[in-house]
Chain A
Amino acid sequence: MTSLSTDLNLSAPDDIYTALLDLVDGRDDQTAAAAFAAVALVLANHVGDDAVVADAIALVRHAFDDGGPPEGGRIFVKQALDRFFAQHPETGMSGVAA
């Protein structure tokens, strides 16, 4: 019983990305979406573990509920930077100097 791996397992992710783009190159949008889905089906079958595939689907569902385009109105760049550095104290920076 293995669990879903979310760390990088590929040696050349940029090559995989390019190969996926090549797969849909020149196809219309619906066919392209179908081709991406077909890759998902092939890989799900290769994994062959219902629980892992279900975990993958749940992970994507969660990411898509949560990770869409940004919301909120327009702010100034200083606010954007201040907010970022305040939210990420691990950067060791306190924000924009006055």
Chain B
Amino acid sequence: MITTVIRTAILYFLVTVGIRLMGKRQIGDMQPNELVVTLLISEIAAIPLQDTNQPILNGAAAIFILVVLEIIVSVLAMKSFFVRKIISGKSVVIIKNGVIDQQAMRDVRMTVLDLVELLRGQEVFNLSDVAFAVLEVNGDLSVLLKGDAKPVTAKDINLKPDDEGLPLPVISDSKIVDESLKALQTDRSSLGKILKKNSLTVEDVFLMMLDRYGNFSVVKKEKNR
């Protein structure tokens, strides 16, 4: 029993390190090779857990070999268009100049219902609004609307809204986030002044977001019930 507990903990850390080395990606954003590696890692990690006769090193070596191969392949894919095409495939134009390319849909084995569903996912409910639709290698559909169907932007009506700074969390659960202050090129004393001006202390704040122009929003901490 204790063996299983220790082996599980070791494998948990090994798999976490392996996945971290592969980089951050959501399951839905994975390239085909990344998905294969992730599935294989989860399968391989289960073998030494279920079969305690297997040395844990065998499982760890297999996991790390997959991670190494994945990193090498992604570096090669980054450097070479050819490798990228072989490993990840290429995007396919499904709608071109407002016309559905039926051959392309057959090639990617996509039905009209699939296409309509993917368009709805992009908040497009009328097929005639679409100028171009591209099926990306990760299965997402990118849509370019026709000119008359595009939402109005500030540029269209000659508006010049103020540039918004990126708000960062400077206080999280009553703790000052120094990294955010550094990124905003400010310091604790400036933050203290803002808090004092608004009759607040760090202990009162659950979350405070601040941007580089000094705009902020505060969520006060609830008193303990």
Our verdict on whether A and B bind, yes or no, reads no
Taking Cβ atoms with an 8 Å cutoff, the residues of B that contact A are none
Binding site for B on A (CB under 8 A): none
